[in-house]
Amino acid sequence: MQLRYQYRVYPTPGQQNALARAFGCARVVFNDAVHAREAAWRDGLPYPTDADLSKALTAAKRTPERAWLADVSSVVLQQALADANTAYRNFFTSVTGKRQGRKVGAPRFRSRHDNRQSIRFTRNARFRVTAGGKLRLPMIGDVKVAWSRELPSDPSSVTVISDSAGRYFASFVVDVTPEPLSLIDSEVGIDLGLTTFAVLSNGTTITSPKFLRHAERRLRKAQQALCRKEKGSNNRAKTRIRVAKAHAAVADARKDFAHKQSTTIIRENQAVYVEDLCVIGLARTRLAKSVHDAGWSMFTRLLEAKAARYGRHFSKVDRFFPSSQTCSACGRVDGKKPLSVREWTCPCGAVHDRDLNAAMNILAAGRAESRNACGETVSLPA
């Protein structure tokens, strides 16, 4: 299986200029590919193939208007072209109904003002990690890397990323072998919430950290300071970086929290079941800020990825399953309840905490779906 290992890098001012030049060239190549396809559709001509676009890129380098494309690695330009081709392929498969999940829109032009800029080097570019621990990139140089851990194998590609806070990262794609953990008997159902981040069917409660809510005052002050600066001034540019760093700190803290909690749950349970929440729909309600702050999608995505890596079983329960309405003791469906009702009593006499009862029902539903025709549990991945 393939994993990404991301590290902070610290390019020198000269290397930053070289990276900016590479970002711009990759952006122009991507936009040229999108323009060529849009022009073909508008004029009723056949869509240019990947080979046609590659030939057009080679020819563009020989023209005075695009001669500066030769100042960066050709692999970076070819990867930008591949990104455009992949974007259109995903768009066509989504339109025809062959792609699962949300509908994918047509590719749009990239802007120099985008918060995130990136370029990708593959093995063909002959990038490598030097003996001194620096990342050697063609036509850029040896970039300092803050190694937080060793790479498990030789990377197949590296993506250099610049974010809105002015930070640079190197994201390596490496092949790793799954590391199954020893089998245990524990299984758990998870009910995700806003007041409490998660309640597990074994009674464990994970308090919601509410990173955005706690940082709102600091973010508001930084944004107000940015609004007072004159557009185009150096002070405005400096303040914009401060605002971006404040938001990045919130996002990093949320990601760190999700990583730690998901790792703990996967290590302590053989099977994990969660509810398939419609986060997109909930994000359109008055609870949108709290829903985004919770980071449910990132948390469940990490659970699924780590379960596959460590030999655990992970599955989602149907979102229409009435986990909060069903009595976990007798199975009676007691009807809808407003969010203000945190505890209720079933006619059978059982008193339920709303979240704990939902987690227990999610566990039962997940176990039921993992049974085969003979009534036995399916074999878990090794």
Q: Assess contact for 166 and 117: CB atoms under 8 A.
A: no
Which of 32, 275, 293, 304 is labelled catalytic? Answer: 275
Q: Is 38 a catalytic residue?
A: no
Which of 83, 187, 191, 304 is labelled catalytic? Answer: 191
What is the rounded CA–CA span in Å between residue 190 and residue 275?
A: 7
The one-letter amino acid code at 331 reads G
For residue 159, the cross-strand partners are 120, 171
Which of 32, 83, 187, 355 is labelled catalytic? Answer: 355
Q: How far apart are the first and last CA of the chain?
A: 14
Q: Is 252 a catalytic residue?
A: no
- 49-82 b/e (C-beta count within 10 Å ≥ 16 → b): eeeebbeebeebeeeeebeebeebbbbbbbbbbb
Beta strands in 216-353 (DSSP E): 271-275, 313-317, 343-345, 351-353
Q: Is 43 a catalytic residue?
A: no
Residue 54: which of 75, 24, 25, 23 has the closest Cα? 75
What is the rounded CA–CA span in Å between residue 3 and residue 347?
A: 50
Q: How far is CA 246 from the centre of its chain?
A: 20
Q: Nearest 5°: phi and psi at 269?
A: -140, 140
What is the rounded CA–CA span in Å between residue 273 and residue 364?
A: 9
Beta strands in 260-349 (DSSP E): 271-275, 313-317, 343-345
Which three-class secondary structure state does DSSP give residue 260?
helix
State the DSSP string of 83-125: HHHHHHHHHHHHHTT-S-SSPPPPP----TT-S-EEEEEEGGG
Using the structure block, give the residue that is written with the tokens 């850029």. 140
Q: Assess contact for 173 and 2: CB atoms under 8 A.
A: yes
Q: Assess contact for 68 and 29: CB atoms under 8 A.
A: no
Catalytic residues: 191, 275, 355
